[in-house]
Structure 1
């Protein structure tokens, strides 16, 4: 009888575990109005023995966009919204050309952090595994242009995105770690000001 109960339990639980799909991931990642935290970015270049490391903070606001604030080794702020990508200089926010390689990579980060599966599916084959608490998403490029840049993109997370690895065709890679992200209901005054100006 005990084995039967265990077997029935497994049969009931298994479909629920398998039910976590791209729609569930998108809903989970877009649930908080604001997600923010520190990040560490490692750029692994074939020509260098050690990775280039940069650190900073990010703010992802569902109704506004993404603030990407590099703090070391240099200070540089980016703002990614539906209208484009801006970089802050001493005179304020300046719009970047929409076709630059950096702009494309930032747009991709924005889609990934939001869990925008419909946006990502236009450019990638998506393969999701795991559960809502511990999931892995592999993006394999569809378009010829992206295939020339990336071999794949691997994303891991739980409640939020925790790690993104971009593997490039020439053997270089970028690893982005965001292990201390947290959600909030509203933006701080400073964050709201950064999105408004």
Structure 2
């Protein structure tokens, strides 16, 4: 009985030690992330599709307003816009004259997508801990957080997510079960104010 108790206590101690190290690494990542309320920049998105011999590429600009939402503006190869406001995803094609519409995700799927995208780009990894198992690597120049879905709902769409960065998130890679993947490279700009157009879209 005593030996069984000792083995159980050792197992618990190892789990607690692992959790403590994980929490310390995540704290190191969080402490390095910028807390600026507004982050803007450009992105390059690369989609690897199993049925195609070449990747699908798109480029554009983004505006992340931490307390309000996200504006994702694809400029090439064809213009389209996505925004997250009030915890919901909306999209439009056709510029300012077109109406914003909700994608066919269902209400729950819409909110889950909105939360995932904004938390990933803002580096709010603690908010994702209940949905993903987190593995953290923190070095002097950069950090990496690897997320593996805990829930079947997310596992249907993504196998793993890897996020890399420094003061800001610089790279997000989503790997899918079918061997396909999406990689987003982000280049942030110097701090600035929202333009009137961006303010109208996000606020």
Asked whether the two chains share a fold, i.e. TM above 0.5, the reply is: yes
Q: Which residue of 2 aligns with 1:189?
A: 196
Alignment length, in residue pairs?
178
2:90 maps to what in 1? 86
Aligned equivalent of 2:74, options 70, 75, 78: 70
3-state SS of the aligned residue for 1:118? helix
- For 2:195 and 2:88, locate their aligned partners in 1 and report how far apart those are by CA, in whole Å: 22
State the Cα deviation string for residues 17-56 of structure 1 (Å, max 9, x = none).
x996324434544501111111011110111111000111
Equivalent residue of 2:200, what SS?
helix
Counterpart CA distance in 1 for 2:154 and 2:67 is 28
Alpha-carbon contact 1:23-1:117 (below 8 Å) kept: no
Which structure 2 residues correspond to residues 118-157 of structure 1 after superposition, within 5 A?
A: 118-131=126-139, 133-157=141-165
Task: Give the TM-score normalised by structure 1.
Answer: 0.79
Segments of structure 2 that go 5 or more residues without pairing to the other structure are 1-21
Name stretches of at least 5 consecutive residues in structure 1 with no aligned partner.
Answer: 1-17
Report the alpha carbon displacement of residue 142 of structure 1 after superposing the two structures with TM: 0.7
Q: CA deviation at 1:103?
A: 7.2
The C-alpha deviation readout for 1:79-111, integer Å capped at 9, x for no partner, is: 112331111353332233453878755542211
SS at match of 1:108: helix
Q: Name the CA shift for 1:102/1:177 in 2 (closer, same or farther; >3 Å).
A: farther
Structure with bigger strand share is: 1
CA distance in 1, matches of 2:28, 2:41: 23
Residues 19-168 of structure 1 mapped to structure 2, 5 A cutoff: 21-26=25-30, 28-29=32-33, 31-89=35-93, 90-99=97-106, 105=113, 107-131=115-139, 133-168=141-176
Q: Does structure 2 retain, via aligned residues, the 8 Å contact 1:134–1:158? A: yes
SS of the residue corresponding to residue 184 of structure 1 reads: coil
